[in-house]
Amino acid sequence: MPEELPRSLRLLRDARRIAVVAHSPRLDRPWHAIASYLDDAGYEVSLVNPALDEALGRRCYDRVQELPHAVDLVDVFRLPWETPSVAEEAVAAGAGALWLQLGIVSRRAEAIARAGGLEVVMDRCTMVDHRRLVALGERAPRAP
């Protein structure tokens, strides 16, 4: 019997729509490379970055609630003390999970997200975990 996937990998396997949240106009930052990777991997990637009007050939939104559709996962590239407000946005937008990127931990954001019914991953990279998922032979994202 195969071993059950860790929660972070299950979230990525089951996600279809991911919002990447950043606040940097620089396209040489990790948020841009990882958003591009996730897009190439087949996810429907939306960008929330009030510092830019567009990136990756698509509009950037100022807040998660402005997205034209719900997302399965909110992938956050913000400083830890800025993440509670993003957690509030994710809850208000009806997201499925809050994912704080590698090096980002916020117990307050975690509490807000969990109280709103979201799953939470902290201090992990979506790109690294997706590559791990693919190496395990899992298909991600799953077809609807």
pLDDT (tens digit per residue) in 68-100: 999 999 999 999 999 999 999 999 999 999 999
Whole-number pLDDT of residue 139: 75
Compute how many other C-beta atoms are within 10 angstroms of the C-beta atom of residue 49.
Answer: 22
Residues 133-144: tens digit of each pLDDT:
999 988 777 655
Phi, psi of 46 (to 5 degrees): -110, 145
Tell which wins on pLDDT, 143 or 105: 105
Question: Which pLDDT band holds residue 29 (cuts at 50, 70, 90)?
Answer: very high
Per-residue burial over 52-84, b if 16 or more Cβ lie within 10 Å, else e, is beebeeeebbeebeebeeebbbbbbbbebeebb
Rounded-to-integer distance, Cα 29 and Cα 16, Å: 24
Q: How far apart are CA 119 and CA 105, in angstroms?
A: 14
When pLDDT is cut at 50, 70 and 90, the band that residue 14 belongs to is very high
Helices (H) and strands (E) in the chain, counts: 5, 7
Q: Region 16-38: what's the mean pLDDT? A: 96
pLDDT at 1: 31
pLDDT mean across residues, the chain: 94
